[in-house]
Chain A
Amino acid sequence: GENVEQHPSTLSVQEGDSAVIKCTYSDSASNYFPWYKQELGKRPQLIIDIRSNVGEKKDQRIAVTLNKTAKHFSLHITETQPEDSAVYFCAGNAGGTSYGKLTFGQGTILTVHP
C-alpha cells in the first residue's frame, strides 16, 4: 500500500521567514495530495491540496509543489506568522483510485517565534 514519509518532524522559524515541509510517497498511482493543519486540541483542517495533473498550486501565503517523477511534494509557507504554529500533515490517496483512502505522513510541528 501507500507509504508517505514527511520531513522534518519539527521546524522552528522566526516570524516573517519561510517554512518548507517535504513529503515523499511510494505509490506511483497516487493522484491526490492534501495538506492538513492541526492546532492543539482541534481537528485537522484542510489547508491546500494538489492533484497529479498540476505541478504547483498557491493560496495566498501557502503553496504546494508536486514532482511526480521523484514522487515528492512540498508545502511552502511564506511570511510566517505566530498563528501558523501547529502540526502539519501531508497525505496521499492510496492506490491512486478515487476510493478516498488517505495515508498520512508523520506530521511536522511548526513553531513560529515572534
Chain B
Amino acid sequence: SAVISQKPSRDICQRGTSLTIQCQVDSQVTMMFWYRQQPGQSLTLIATANQGSEATYESGFVIDKFPISRPNLTFSTLTVSNLSPEDSSIYLCSVRDTGTDTQYFGPGTRLTVL
C-alpha cells in the first residue's frame, strides 16, 4: 500500500489566519482526497484533488475557503483560509490505490484555532 505523510502533524493558529497542509505519497496515485474529521465525528469528504486541474468540491465546501493544489501525482496541499474556531478539526488526505477501490489515509493534521 502507498505510504502517505502529512505536514504539519498539528498546529495551533489564530483566528483569521490560514494554514496549508501538505500531503506526500511515495508512489504516483491517480486519486487524492481531502477529508475533515471534526472532534468525535465521522469523516467528511471536502474535495477530490485533481492533478492539473481544479479540485472537485463537495456540497458545503468552497474553493475560497479550502483552496487545493495538486501539482503532480504524488503531492497535494490543502489550505484552510480565514480560520475560525469552527475549523478546529483533523484534516486527512487519502489516496486511492491505482487500479483498485482501496483507499488509504494519511496520519492527519490536527488543527486548533484560537
Contacts and interface: CB of A to CB of B under 8 A. Distances in A.
Q: Helix, strand, loop or mixed for chain A's interface?
A: strand
Contacts of A89: 42-43
A73 interface: no
A43 B107 contact: yes
Interface in A78-103: 89, 93, 98-103
Interface stretch (A44-52, A55-63, A64-72): A44-52
Q: Helix, strand, loop or mixed for chain B's interface?
A: strand
Contacts of B41: 106-107
Contact of B92 (A43, A98, A100): A43
A96 to B, nearest CB: 11
Contact of B101 (A49, A103, A107): A49
A44 B102 contact: no
Contacts of A42: 107
B37 to A, nearest CB: 9
Contacts of A46: 102-104
Given A32-B101, A100-B101, A104-B43, 7 more contacts: A34-B101, A36-B105, A42-B107, A44-B92, A44-B105, A45-B105, A46-B104
Interface of B: 31, 33, 41-45, 48, 92, 96, 101-108
